[in-house]
Amino acid sequence: MKPWPFEYHRANSIEDAIATLGRHGEGARLLAGGQSLIPMMNLGLATPDLVVDVGNLSDLAYVLVEDGVLRIGALATHNTIMEADASASACPMLVVAYHSVAHHTIRNRGTLGGNICHADPASEMPLVLTLLDASMVIRGARGERVVAAGNFFIDAFETEVEPAEMLTEIRIPAQAAGEGYAFEEMSQRKGDFAIVSAGCRLSIRKGQMTNVRFGLTGAGAQTRRMSVVEAKLEGAGPDDRLLAEAAELAVVNSDPSDDIHADAAYRLDLVRTMSRRVLAAAVRMTAKQGAL
């Protein structure tokens, strides 16, 4: 299918992009890697009358570590981030999760900024960034604001970024030494969006789990950090029975619906299995690093 007619503007700076968005109003959309917006336009699901192409703003394609924070420019592609030494050293969980995101060719064009602004509830990165306590830098005509991942994702396909604003940077605090983490998903084919995915990170100090982060996609209408599961584990010893109980708690607190990919009962089964797996894997990882 072909998109509706639209005007095209290639931005030559962040300021130019923001000013153009501001002048044009709600009918304008930014174009980054085009891996979500172009299919949406071809299907008639997005009908912008102006597309502001920011894909050439290479100043925003960096991945670096500064003062214990992984800083990722909004236009860094998935593959650039996945392959960067800075990602591996500061946030290895991000790299592990990236192995489940799309196909190589899609990751060559798609950007992390575009991915999280699109905010597909089946997407891995909104969950991973939430579990990693990331924050997002959003720029508009009045300046810059920094929004925690927990507040950034408002609903399915809806974020804090206003129509005349642009996401410029993602900041992720470096993971603590000795921290355990795991990310798993079930999809119909490798590289497809997940039916259910689960992520967990935690540390163990003096035999007790601490800084527990746990969440799921595919378990409800949107990405969910499950604080009820985290609270059950925080401060407790990591025994197998408790981890199994925590996985059951994840099931009880999930509310998936039937769709063309899977029915709700199957998703709940996946929630149970994936939750158990990631919790056990994160504990095992801390044990291997001698943190128990």
Ligand X SMILES: Cc1cc2nc3c(=O)[nH]c(=O)nc-3n(C[C@H](O)[C@H](O)[C@H](O)COP(=O)(O)OP(=O)(O)OC[C@H]3O[C@@H](n4cnc5c(N)ncnc54)[C@H](O)[C@@H]3O)c2cc1C
In angstroms, give the least distance from the CB of 168 to ligand X: 7
> In whole angstroms, how close is the CB of 278 to ligand X at the nearest point?
18
Residue 193, CB-side half-sphere exposure with 13 Å CA sphere: 14
Whose Cβ is closer to ligand X: residue 125's or residue 226's?
125
Handedness of CA 206, 208, 212, 217 (dihedral sign): positive
Part of the chain binding ligand X (CB under 6 A), chosen from 91-99, 104-112, 140-148, 217-225: 104-112
The reply to whether 223 sits near ligand X by the rule CB under 6 A is no
Among the residue ranges 61-69, 188-196, 262-270, 282-290, the one whose residues contact ligand X (CB under 6 A)? 188-196
30 near ligand X, judged by CB under 6 A: yes
Cβ-contact 45, 51 below 8 angstroms: no
Q: Is 35 in the site for ligand X (CB under 6 A)?
A: yes
Q: Which is nearer to ligand X, 101 or 212 (CB)?
A: 101
Q: Which helix (H) or strand (E) holds 59?
A: none
Six-digit token string for 93: 């969980």
Write each residue from 148 to 187 as x if it is in contact with ligand X (CB under 6 A), else as -, in one continuous string.
-------------x----xx--------------------
Residue 87 near ligand X by CB under 6 A: no
Nearer to ligand X, 101 or 271 (CB): 101
Euclidean distance between CA atoms 25 and 189, whole angstroms: 39
User: CB count, 10 Å around CB of 60?
Assistant: 20
Task: Tell me if 34 contacts ligand X by CB under 6 A.
Answer: yes
Shortest distance (Å) from residue 127 CB to ligand X: 10
Please list every residue from 113 through 142 that binds ligand X, using CB under 6 A.
Answer: 113-115, 117-118, 123-125
Nearer to ligand X, 118 or 232 (CB): 118
Strands in 61-142 per DSSP E:
63-66, 69-73, 135-140
> Whose CA is closest to 159, among 128, 193, 121, 133?
121
Contact 194, 100 (CB under 8 A): yes
The binder of ligand X chosen from 11, 18, 24, 31 (CB under 6 A): 31
**Residue 162 burial (10 A CB sphere; 0-12, 13-18, 19+):** exposed
Q: Is 29 in the site for ligand X (CB under 6 A)?
A: yes
Query: What's the CA dihedral at 140, 225, 68, 277 to 10 degrees?
Result: -140
37 lies in the binding site for ligand X (CB under 6 A): yes
Q: Does 102 bind ligand X (CB under 6 A)?
A: yes
Whole-angstrom distance, CA of residue 201 vs CA of residue 181:
4
User: Which stretches of the chain bind ligand X, using CB under 6 A?
Assistant: 29-37, 39, 74, 101-102, 106, 109-111, 113-115, 117-118, 123-125, 161, 166-167, 191-193
